[in-house]
């Protein structure tokens, strides 16, 4: 009975964790899309302004161009930070759900052990951790 309770509890924990991470990752991806859209918009504005200035004076306003480039770089750095955050979340999830990173094994299809909750390859018949049938 205690084993069953433990198994159910582990399964719920796994589901909750996956659900929360899915929502967080989706939010981050939306933010990244917004940033990318803003970068496109900056490119467009930078080009439009540069052309208008060239048309008017026959040259470019380097200060203004630098300002645009700085803004674009800031946004690119923010995107890299957010992508790193997604990777951290995924690695943390794998660690909690028992995916074995040390073995370097690529788990294509996953099966979760009903007894200990460890993630196993769907090619396996026995759990890596507890040896129980999957």
Partner 1 sequence: MIRVEGIRKSYGKKAVLTNVNLSLETGEQAAIIGRNGCGKTTLMHIMAGITKPDAGSVSYFGHNIFKEKRTVAKYCGYLPQGDCLLEELSVQDNISLWSGKSGAPSGELTDFFDLKEILKVPVKNLSGGMKRRVSIACTMVGWPPVLLLDEPTGGLDRYYKAEIRELMGRYRALNGILVIVTHDEEEIKTCSRCFELSGGVLKEAT
Answer yes or no whether residue 4 interacts with partner 1 by CB under 8 A: no
CB of 133 to partner 1, least distance (A): 5
Please report how the helices 2-57 and 62-96 are oriented relative to each other, as an axis angle in degrees rounded to 10.
170
CB 87 within 8 A of CB 79: no
Answer yes or no whether residue 131 interacts with partner 1 by CB under 8 A: yes
Rounded Cα distance between 92 and 42, Å, is: 35
Binding mask 73-112 for partner 1 (x = CB under 8 A): ----------------------------------------
Answer yes or no whether residue 56 interacts with partner 1 by CB under 8 A: no
Question: Which part of the chain contacts partner 1 (CB under 8 A), choosing from 2-10, 32-40, 60-68, 117-125?
Answer: 117-125
Answer yes or no whether residue 125 interacts with partner 1 by CB under 8 A: yes
Residue count of the chain, please give it: 134
- Whose CA is closest to 132, among 101, 102, 111? 111
Rounded (to 5) percent helix, strand, coil in the chain: 70, 5, 25
The binding site for partner 1 (CB under 8 A) comprises 120-121, 123-133
């Amino acid at each position: 009975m205690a084993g069953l309770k433990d198994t159910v509890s582990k399964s719920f924990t796994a589901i909750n964790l996956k659900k929360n991470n899915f929502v967080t990752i989706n939010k981050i991806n939306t933010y990244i899309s917004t940033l990318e859209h803003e970068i496109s918009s900056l490119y467009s504005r930078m080009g439009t302004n540069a052309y208008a200035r060239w048309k008017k004076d026959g040259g470019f306003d380097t200060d203004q161009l630098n300002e645009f480039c700085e803004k674009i770089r800031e946004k690119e750095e923010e995107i890299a930070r957010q992508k790193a955050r997604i990777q951290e979340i995924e690695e943390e999830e794998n660690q909690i759900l028992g995916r074995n990173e040390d073995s370097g094994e690529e788990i294509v299809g996953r099966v979760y052990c009903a007894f200990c909750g460890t993630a196993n390859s769907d090619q396996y018949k026995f759990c890596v951790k507890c040896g129980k049938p999957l």
